[in-house]
Structure 1
Amino acid sequence: MAVRWLREEAIRTAGLVDPEPDAKWLRGGRAVLVSPTPGSPDVPQVLRDWADDEALQGAAMAVLAKREFFHFYTSDGQTGYSLSAMPLPVGFAGDWAAEIGAPSTA
């Protein structure tokens, strides 16, 4: 679930940084095309590429499955964009399941 959320956040962030010209939230507003810093990556495209790459998402899942911190970072030379997730123990889940009568997974 965490990687799915990170994927959606990557897409959402890319859309905020580089919106479609007909984006509803731009209606009536002013959008100004800004050239990227020479030599810097196209951050919205980097985020979209990560969101479309199943191998990179699989690597993120592998990191999280080992109970390790996952961090993806990109920058355009002026602003950094970060996606991160960390597994947290949820000891309450077993108690909650028992309380509602869910079958035990133990």
Structure 2
Amino acid sequence: MKKMVITILAVFLFSLSFGTFAAAEGEPQTPKVKLTEEQKTELAKLHEQMYSTKKELVNKYVEYGVFSKDQGDNVLKMMEAKYQKLKENDYMMRWHPHSHHGKRLDQKE
């Protein structure tokens, strides 16, 4: 009797979790929020600081021999492309931009 109750409870919990995943599938990846110009300016400043710090970090890795010059240039080129895309999107980050999640950064909703 105890095994049967546990089995029924497990099936019930499993069915609840499946419904949650199915409901989350259709949700947008970014909230539909309009940032004010002040908010965009503040985000731009913070992203610029992060970008310049990351560039400095990559250059140090190249200087110390962790990355080759070509590897460092490739990383910087990818970072620049991501930063430009972020600027184009008014600093609205997209969550889970990986192709295996079904969305790409350059894909419009």
**TM-score (norm. length: structure 1):** 0.31
Q: Which has the higher helix share?
A: 2
Higher strand residue share:
1
